[in-house]
Amino acid sequence: MDSANSPAILVVEDERRIARLIELELEHVGFAVTIAGDGETGLRLALAQDFEVILLDLMLPGLGGIEVCKALREHKRTPIIMLTARDRTEDKVSGLDAGADDYITKPFATEELLARVRAALRKGVSRQELKLADLIILPEQRRAIRAGVMLELTTREFDLLHFLMRHADKVVSRESILRQVWGYDFEGETNVVDVYIRYLRMKVDEPFESPLIHTIRGVGYVLRKP
């Protein structure tokens, strides 16, 4: 496994046996794992490096899981899964209140751990802003900003722009746009794509100096730098 491409996971857990077990399970499926044995170390590492998911034990000596979570949330939105030894509702609620995304109760099955880590990874990806030239897309807030100006897009226009942005520099066909953005196998007319591309151009390109949406005749469209 090429560790440079493995999603980086931080495990903040003072019980070495549990930390080691989690490390083995996650590394086995291709994650790169860093272990912190206490809250202070965990917080320092989480702030200094970009992890894709953080597994954070609730009960830590010194700086506790809730405090680490709160302190981290002032700076970063890395998905956090709280690990709690107790199946107590108040622990879960206080973790979620502190900004955690999910929690898992110890002892847990490997399948559950992996499923929750994958879900947290997807959440993290959806939070990442996308950039192309002076266009920025914030998927989670469903916002698009060009040259500092917030674009007023309908739901469908946003979905279309988001799709083009995820495939920036690649030519996408009308058919694949229909399938991915409209979400069904469209038989026949693909004119609806052209109509929406026109709407998008009026909002994304025309008010600005340089067009980002380009037509590739006979093939489809591409979003790329001017």
Interatomic CA distance for residues 101 and 95, integer angstroms: 8
Among all residues, whose Cβ is closest to Ca ion?
59
159 interacts with Ca ion by CB under 5 A: no
DSSP annotation of 49: S
Residue with Cβ nearer Ca ion (18 or 213) = 18
Tokens representing residue 211 in the block: 């067009």
Q: How many CB atoms are closer than 10 A to CB 77?
A: 14
Which CB atom, from 39 or from 124, has the smaller least distance to Ca ion? 39
Residues contacting Ca ion: total by CB under 5 A: 3
Give the shortest CB-69-to-Ca ion separation in angstroms: 14
| Cα first-last separation, the chain | 37
CB of 14 to Ca ion, least distance (A): 5
Judged by CB under 5 A, the residue of 14, 25, 38, 205 near Ca ion is 14
Closer residue to Ca ion, CB minimum distance, 9 or 58? 58
For residue 24, what are its two tokens? 């083995």
Using the contact rule CB under 5 A, the part of the chain among 59-67, 68-76, 143-151, 179-187 near Ca ion is: 59-67
Virtual CA dihedral for 51, 57, 62, 68, nearest 10 degrees?
A: 40
194 binds Ca ion (CB under 5 A): no
In the three-class reduction of DSSP (H, G, I as helix; E, B as strand; rest coil), residue 83 is classed as strand
Cβ atoms of 108 and 40 within 8 Å: the answer is no
Question: Which residue number, 14 or 205, has a Cβ lying nearer to Ca ion?
Answer: 14
Contacts of 185 (CB under 8 A, 6+ apart): 179
Contact flag: residue 18 with Ca ion (CB under 5 A): no
Does the footprint of Ca ion cover residue 59 (CB under 5 A)? yes
Question: Is 57 or 102 the residue whose CB approaches Ca ion more closely?
Answer: 57
Which residues partner with 11 through β-bridges?
35, 55
Closer Cβ to Ca ion, 14 or 134, answer by number: 14
Closest CB 58 distance from Ca ion, rounded Å: 7
Q: 11 or 135: whose CB is closer to Ca ion? A: 11
Q: Is 57 in the site for Ca ion (CB under 5 A)?
A: yes
Stretch that binds Ca ion, among 10-18, 47-55, 101-109, 147-155 (CB under 5 A): 10-18
CA–CA separation, 213 and 207 (whole Å): 13
Q: How far apart are CA 159 and CA 115, in angstroms?
A: 27
Q: Which residues pair with 10 in a beta bridge?
A: 34, 54
Interface residue list for Ca ion (CB under 5 A): 14, 57, 59
